[in-house]
Structure 1
Amino acid sequence: MKSYSLLAALLLAATAECCQNTEEIHTMLRAFSEECAEEKETELSKGELEDIFSGKCPTNENAKCVMTCIAEKSGLVQGNQFSFDRFMESANKTFSCDQDTMKKVEEVARECERDIGNAKGDCEIGLKVCECVWKQKK
């Protein structure tokens, strides 16, 4: 598995094998999470960070804000809105070696585009993207 974005972390459980390695995912997520925690002037526990790395959806406001920031830095959301085009652009860079995976990713992205809409609070969109992706896994 290989990626540079939150997309991969969120879709790991919803898709088949992809092209890059897990360590790259964790390295990028750690960098984004540290930047975001600093920008949001918050600290996350080791457990909260591990939850984000493993694709679990955040449960408290600080973690939601960090998740939203990571989603923004990854290009998955813009202006409190899910971005189908950016989602697919990230997916193509990450999963293009596997057409079956790309089909599943596109299905997930279309469902999320339809279900998410605009977020009400400043930190809700990251949570909504996470919940949508996990819902599609079921």
Structure 2
Amino acid sequence: MKCSVALISTLLAMQLQYILANSEKLMEIAEICRQKEGADEGAIEALKERKLLEYPHGKCMAACIFEEMGIIKDNAFNKEGTMSHAEKYFGDQKDKIEKVKEAFNSCETEINGSTGDRCEVANKIIVCSKMNNAPPLLRSQL
């Protein structure tokens, strides 16, 4: 179980790390989400250090960020919002858009099994993306 938490934490951080390092807008969103989810100021550092899921409220901070991006809507995976985000971000890179589509088609049922628990939905989205080698969706400007 401890290895699973560490692995999932690493996967989450790998996707979110780039944005936190390079996007002022995402830093604003991460701070808003940190406060909204009741995490202390160390949560932002935990995210940068690839330890967010080990941190109290970490999955829920990720869920909050995904909600802002349209990837989670009404406590559930939003496939349309995810694909819209992918199309905006990847533009002409049709191969990457197709990889995102294939990844989420392959594990949509598993992700949707968490509907209602937005924090677990965020966790499963990240795991699905990484396990299916989908291009990260969180590198775009928000």
| Superposition TM-score, scaled by structure 1 size | 0.70
Cα gap change, 1:78 to 1:50, in 2 (>3 Å): same
Once the two structures are superposed, what CA deviation does each residue of 1:53-111 show, in whole Å capped at 9, x if it has no partner?
xxx87234411110011111111011221111000000010001211111111112222
**Equivalences for 1:26-105 in 2 at 5 Å?**
26-45=23-42, 46-51=44-49, 58-105=53-100
Letter in 2 for 1:75: G
In structure 2, what is the Cα distance between the partners aligned to 1:44 and 1:125? 24
Check the 8 A contact 1:82/1:118 in 2, yes or no: no
Letter in 1 for 2:122: G
Letter in 2 for 1:30: M
Aligned pairs, number: 119
Which of 105, 109, 114 is the matching residue for 1:110?
105
Letter in 1 for 2:132: Q
Check the 8 A contact 1:71/1:77 in 2, yes or no: yes
SS of 1:107 mapped into structure 2:
helix
SS of 2:57 mapped into structure 1:
helix
In structure 1, what is the Cα distance between the partners aligned to 2:82 and 2:125? 10
Check the 8 A contact 1:57/1:131 in 2, yes or no: no
Q: Which runs of 4+ in 1 moved over 6 A?
A: 21-24
| Superposition TM-score, scaled by structure 2 size | 0.68
Letter in 2 for 1:94: Y
SS of 2:117 mapped into structure 1:
coil
Once the two structures are superposed, what CA deviation does each residue of 1:19-44 show, in whole Å capped at 9, x if it has no partner?
xx968963332121111011122125
Q: What corresponds to 2:4 in structure 1?
A: none
* Runs of at least 5 residues in structure 1 that lack an aligned partner in the other structure: 1-8, 12-20
% of aligned pairs identical?
25
In structure 1, what is the Cα distance between the partners aligned to 2:73 and 2:96? 24
* Runs of at least 5 residues in structure 2 that lack an aligned partner in the other structure: 1-13, 135-142
Moved more, 116-125 or 90-99: 116-125
SS of 1:43 mapped into structure 2:
coil
- 1:135 aligned onto 2:131: yes
